[in-house]
Amino acid sequence: MSAEPKTVALFVTCLVDLFRPSVGFAAVKLLEDAGCRVVVPAAQTCCGQPAYNSGDRGDAIAIARQVIEAFAGFTYVVAPSGSCAGMIRHHYPALFAGDDEMKSRADDLASRTHELTSFLTDVLGVNAVAAQFDGTATYHDACSGLRELSVKDQPRRLLASVAGLDLVPLPNAETCCGFGGTFCVKYPEISTDIVSRKTADIVATGAGTLLAGDLGCLMNMAGRLQREGHDVKVRHVAEVLAGMADGPAIGEPA
Amino acid sequence: MNFQPLDFKANARKAMADPNLREALSRVQTNFSGRRAEAVARLPEFDQLRHDARAIKDHVLAHLDVYLERFEQKVVEAGGHVHWCRTPREARETILSLCRKVEAKTCTKGKSMIAEEIALNPFLAANGVQPIETDLGEYIIQLADEPPSHIIGPAVHKTKAQISDLFHEHHAKLGRTQRITDEQGLVNEAREILRQKYFDADVGITGANLLVAETGSSVIVTNEGNGDLTQTLPKMHIVIASLEKVVPTLEDACTILRVLARSATGQEFSVYTTFSTGPRRPDDVDGPGEYHVVLLDNGRSAMVGTVLGELLRCIRCGACMNHCPVYQSVGGHAYGWVYPGPIGAALDPHFIGIEAGQHLPQASTFCGRCEEVCPMQIPLPAIMRHWREQSFSARVTPPLQRYAIRLWAMAARRPALYRLGARLAMGALALAGRGRGRFARLPLAGGWTAGRDLPAPAGRTFQDQWRGARE
């Protein structure tokens, strides 16, 4: 390990902050174990995607400005979400097309921002974690991480190093779970229909645990699995990688 | 059946409750998506080919006027005619007057989405020219009096049993009283019935997958050969095509055809690929006496150079809908207009307006699979987002949705206030959800909890805990 620890600013993401702080602490542990110093800028709320994807460009721009400001000066910005990291990397620069100064600041932040598992593997060169998880799990590729950031092999590589974990492939792992941000409440019946196909695939694997890298998708799949009465535990991949999977799974009582 | 795009939600609900439709849609994945994946895997240079095909279309769209004029010149040299039509109405009337010129009673028709776009069939029928669809899928839905639900598989929403019933009902009056249930038998019966109609028709109308500027040719691809019979046997062949179908050369046409078939059906090439150039020449053994190309604009030329311009690269392969989770759930009719699926969600509002088409670009999870598989790399989610922005700023988005987003954004733009509010709200929610760890029902969260439980928050937010512990 080099003498000077790398400073990483954690973009917690709104859902992790509000619903499942344990994912944030798991991310902190993974980053610290990899030799990083983690800071959490206070002036962060959300990446702005709900506004951006609802067509509210004005608010999306205002929130993006705030994030660009809050994360200025950090060499690395890491989010435990492909969706939020994808928003910052791909969509912030697009929001400021025509505003040269902000565009270059957005480009700069984009170049420093990473999704957690790809940061660990691709940037820090981590190929193994010191974690134990006894059980069978399957992994769903959340869409934004997969298609905007090419997160596919990275979480699987890290999961392969978890002692005791048996990772079984999920059929149609690259098919959307039906979450889609505000889509899931604007078109709840269609969203439920899509997630029902996903839960059928999950249940068919026989895995006791479902993992993915985006909390929105995880809450959607967990909520549907529970509504259907399936006993599959749902967790963010960071919890397993950090060896912090002993607390209640998503939607389970404490 | 008369679906409207504004009724998207109700259409979708009805579609999801239809067991026949669900059975039919389950085949889309095996028959289209699965075969496309295999075809792409067999061709390592697929991405390069896709890149080349895209470059051809980008080049054409930057020089559309040049290639269209060259195309017209070549058509005329070959003895044909080009009719420039700005609107669907002009196109319909042009086609009708051509039909009248040869005193047409019936016309055979190959599959054409542009004919759907201009609502050609009801117009011809109302004016005394009976259109006869010859593509098997189109023939089926013509019998059922339904619009196509997919741009390359118009009857993809029908099960074999439904088709059997439909044939039994309609073919009995032609003396075919025995019910046929096997696939090949159904295909054969449709073929036998259509056979004479090819000979009887006065006009054959086809679409065009491509128009070739270099030669003045129109190109169609089919798997049934119906297009060839439609266009070579009657006195007159009318091609109806939108103007972005033009490509510079035969070589370019082949590049696009190679990505088209693979993206559409997973074939390396369609069974029939037919190039038509002008009417029958003195030494030809067959061919139409007259060859006309009706070129439709319908607002497309105005799209060039705007965000919507990229949609003009579309080659109508259907890959976007074959891979769309929403299409997979609701099928094509729910969209309520000519083009369903992601391409429809991005394109239809251009034709019908954002007010009537407001649901279409909203009803997407933005999973990005459509863009991923699009052979022309059309940024479909970005174009849907463009429509959402139009919708939001024009206040077409329902007030409740707009206020909710604005209110949330007001909080998100004030981090200190947001942290306080989040602490209080999550604390209360965690308290309410303790014991079970989730909610089966929650005020204001009915959209979520209708079909799934809502995980309860842990209690203290991350920010609250972090600041308490580390600062």
The rounded distance, in Å, linking the Cα atoms of B152 and B138 is 10
pLDDT value for A1: 47
Question: Is it the case that residue A169 has pLDDT exceeding 70?
Answer: yes
Establish if B186 belongs to a structural domain: no
pLDDT in tens, A47-91: 999 999 999 999 999 999 999 999 999 999 999 999 999 999 999
Q: Which of residues 101-140 of A touch B (CB under 8 A)?
A: none
Other CB atoms within 10 A of residue B465 CB: 17
Structural domains in chain A (count): 2
| pTM for the structure as a whole | 0.96
On whether both B208 and B239 belong to a single domain, the answer is: yes
Establish if A248 belongs to a structural domain: no
Structural domains in chain B (count): 3
Nearest CA in chain B to A144: B367
pLDDT value for B1: 60
Q: Which residues of chain B, if any, have pLDDT below 50?
A: none
Q: Beta A209-212 vs A233-236: how paired, if at all?
A: parallel
On whether both B291 and B203 belong to a single domain, the answer is: yes
At which residue do the structure tokens 């266009």 appear?
B231
Contact B12 A187 (CB under 8 A): yes
Residues on chain B touching A186 (C-beta within 8 angstroms): 362-363, 401, 447
Establish if B255 belongs to a structural domain: yes
On whether both A15 and A106 belong to a single domain, the answer is: yes
Contact B363 A220 (CB under 8 A): no
What lies within 8 Å, CB to CB, of B346 at 6+ separation is B308, B311, B361, B378, B380, B383, B384, B387
> Buried b / exposed e across B140-162, counting CB within 10 Å, b at 16+?
bbbbbebbbbbbbbbbbbbbeeb
pLDDT band, very low/low/confident/very high, at A3 (cuts 50, 70, 90): low
Point out the residue among B393, B437, B447 whose CB comes nearest to the CB of A251.
Answer: B437
Contact A20 B368 (CB under 8 A): no
Q: Are B327 and B32 in contact (CB under 8 A)?
A: no
HSE at residue A167, side-chain half, CA atoms within 13 A, is 19
In A100-232, beta strands by DSSP E: 113-115, 132-139, 163-168, 209-212
Establish if A253 belongs to a structural domain: no
Question: Is it the case that residue A2 has pLDDT exceeding 80?
Answer: no
ipTM of the complex model = 0.96
Which tokens sit at A211? 């993992």
On whether both B118 and B59 belong to a single domain, the answer is: yes
Nearest CA in chain A to B466: A40
On whether both B99 and B226 belong to a single domain, the answer is: yes
pLDDT value for A146: 98
User: Using alpha carbons only, what angle is made at residue A173 by residues A171 and A176, rounded to the nearest 5 degrees?
Assistant: 125
Residues on chain A touching B456 (C-beta within 8 angstroms): 251
The rounded distance, in Å, linking the Cα atoms of B441 and B448 is 9
Point out the residue among B13, B453, B461 whose CB comes nearest to the CB of A189.
Answer: B13
On whether both B27 and B136 belong to a single domain, the answer is: no
On whether both B216 and B92 belong to a single domain, the answer is: yes
CATH code (residue A139): 3.40.50.11810
Which tokens sit at B24? 């039919």
Calculated CA dihedral for residues A54, A58, A62, A68, nearest 10 degrees: 70
Establish if A194 belongs to a structural domain: yes
State which residues form the domain around B262.
Answer: 45-140+198-300
Establish if A193 belongs to a structural domain: yes
On whether both A53 and A142 belong to a single domain, the answer is: no
pLDDT in tens, B63-117: 999 999 999 999 999 999 999 999 999 999 999 999 999 999 999 999 999 999 9
Q: What is the largest CA-CA distance in chain A?
A: 54
Residues on chain B touching A227 (C-beta within 8 angstroms): 440, 451-453
Q: Last residue of some domain: A60, A88, A122? A: A122
On whether both A86 and A141 belong to a single domain, the answer is: no
Establish if A222 belongs to a structural domain: yes
On whether both B295 and B276 belong to a single domain, the answer is: yes
pLDDT in tens, A86-106: 999 999 999 999 999 999 999
pLDDT in tens, B126-142: 999 999 999 999 999 99
Work out the angle between the directed axes of helices B399-412 and A57-70 (0-180°, nearest 10).
Answer: 20
The rounded distance, in Å, linking the Cα atoms of A232 and A53 is 31
Establish if A1 belongs to a structural domain: no
State which residues form the domain around A115.
Answer: 6-122
What lies within 8 Å, CB to CB, of A36 at 6+ separation is A5, A6, A7, A8, A76, A124
The rounded distance, in Å, linking the Cα atoms of A202 and A208 is 9
On whether both B116 and B206 belong to a single domain, the answer is: yes
Distance between A215 CA and the closest CA of chain B, angstroms: 11
On whether both B357 and B323 belong to a single domain, the answer is: yes
- Whether A223 has its CB under 8 Å from any CB of chain B: the answer is yes
On whether both B2 and B126 belong to a single domain, the answer is: no
- Whether A7 has its CB under 8 Å from any CB of chain B: the answer is no
Q: Last residue of some domain: A122, A141, A166? A: A122
Q: Which of residues 69-88 of A touch B (CB under 8 A)?
A: 70
Residues on chain B touching A42 (C-beta within 8 angstroms): 415-416, 419, 463, 467
At which residue do the structure tokens 């054959």 appear?
B204
On whether both A102 and A147 belong to a single domain, the answer is: no
On whether both A14 and A114 belong to a single domain, the answer is: yes
